[in-house]
């Protein structure tokens, strides 16, 4: 695989696709419009902590009992955060109020939200109640909230997205009998097991080696490459076995690595970049 497309997939996975329509540029949840008086909240565009009925409150405001945004004259001691006063749905992090998503809702069991909202998960922002989407598993999507509850929008390898089931890597019963629950940042997603292991170089026979395959959008066996580590390359299969073609700005052969390994196999000072599918590369 080219270093650009694999890294693009990693970026999309890292964002968990609140929005990743092109498959190459990470999307973000809409920040919403802020004003002193509050603004009309467009569905899905207002952060949960700032939502007040049909109004989107400004940062530092709270939703009053009358359903209007208010600037508190006194802030409860446990909600003081630098110069801000956090709402009941926020916690203080490094002097800034952030949405407290821990336990807010469950995107797998689908609890904690009130219809027509449902619980969705992003590796960047955690769990949040959002207007429920309708795209079924396997359908195209440009954002996680396009998908029906219980799914996330992942890169399809062709510049778009596809709805894939969320799962608990420590649980059972979500993925099909032919799938595994791939652990990722505290959650998991259902996927077909790869045909081979790129860093252990198992699963292939004869002189073949395990490389990322753009066409299959997965790891596959193919003829072993000859380009040594550190030399320029175009696709993973250019490289000698155990190496792939990656880099921040240009492709070079670097070692595959296991991001979950207790001890890194990457050279000193080099990080194992996690692609979110149980594999990574040292660069």
Higher-confidence position of 70 and 94 = 70
Gap between the Cα atoms of 222 and 210, Å rounded = 7
C-alpha distance from residue 271 to each of 9, 38, 261, 265, 266 (Å): 18, 44, 12, 9, 7
Task: Using the predicted structure, report yes or no on whether residue 65 has a pLDDT greater than 90.
Answer: no
Of 11-25, 60-74, 204-218, the least confident: 11-25
Query: For residue 183, what pLDDT is reported?
Result: 78
Task: Using the predicted structure, report yes or no on whether residue 28 has a pLDDT greater than 60.
Answer: no
* Confidence class for position 154, pLDDT limits 50, 70, 90: confident
Task: Using the predicted structure, report yes or no on whether residue 32 has a pLDDT greater than 70.
Answer: no
The pLDDT tens digits of the residues spanning 226-271 come to 999 999 999 999 999 999 998 767 789 999 998 888 888 999 989 8
Beta bridge partners of 280: 257, 274
Gap between the Cα atoms of 252 and 177, Å rounded = 38
Gap between the Cα atoms of 127 and 145, Å rounded = 12
Other C-beta atoms lying within 10 Å of the C-beta of residue 208: 17
**What is the per-residue DSSP string for the chain?**
--HHHHHHHHHHHHHTTSS-TTSSS----------TT-EE--TTTS-GGGEETTEEPPTT-EE-TTSSEE--SS--GGGEETTEE--TTEEEETTEEEE--TTT-BTTTTBS--TTEEEEEETTTEEEEEE---BPTTSEESSGGGBPTTEEEEE-SSSSEEEEEEE-TT--SSS-TT-EEEEETTEEEEEPPPSSBTTTTBS--TTEEEEEETTTTEEEEEE---BPTTSB-SSGGGBPTTEEEE-SSS-EEEEEE-TT-SS--SPTT--EEE-SSS-EEE-
């Amino acid at each position: 695989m080219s270093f650009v497309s694999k890294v693009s997939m990693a970026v999309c996975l890292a964002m968990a696709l609140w929005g990743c329509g092109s498959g190459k540029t990470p999307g973000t949840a809409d920040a919403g419009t802020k004003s002193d008086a509050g603004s009309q909240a467009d569905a899905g565009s207002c952060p949960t902590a700032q939502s007040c009925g049909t109004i989107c409150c400004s940062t530092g405001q709270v939703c009053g009992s009358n359903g209007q945004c208010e600037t508190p004259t006194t802030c409860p001691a446990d909600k003081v955060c630098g110069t801000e006063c956090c709402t009941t749905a926020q916690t203080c992090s490094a002097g800034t109020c952030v949405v407290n998503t821990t336990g807010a809702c469950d995107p797998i069991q689908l609890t904690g939200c009130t219809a027509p909202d449902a619980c969705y998960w992003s590796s960047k922002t955690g769990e949040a109640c959002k207007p429920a989407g309708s795209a079924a598993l396997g359908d195209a999507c440009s954002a996680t909230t396009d998908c029906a509850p219980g799914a996330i929008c992942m890169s399809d390898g062709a510049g778009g997205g596809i709805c894939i089931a969320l799962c608990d890597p420590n649980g059972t019963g979500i993925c099909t009998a032919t799938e595994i629950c791939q652990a990722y940042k505290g959650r998991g997603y259902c996927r077909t097991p790869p045909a081979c292991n790129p860093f252990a170089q198992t699963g292939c026979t004869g002189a073949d080696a395990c490389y990322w395959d753009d066409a299959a959008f997965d790891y596959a066996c193919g003829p072993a490459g000859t380009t040594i580590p550190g030399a320029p390359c175009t696709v993973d299969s250019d490289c000698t076995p155990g190496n792939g073609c990656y880099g921040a700005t240009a492709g070079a052969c670097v070692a595959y690595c296991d991001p979950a390994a207790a001890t890194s196999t990457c050279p000193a000072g080099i990080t194992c970049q996690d692609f979110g599918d149980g594999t990574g590369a040292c660069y």
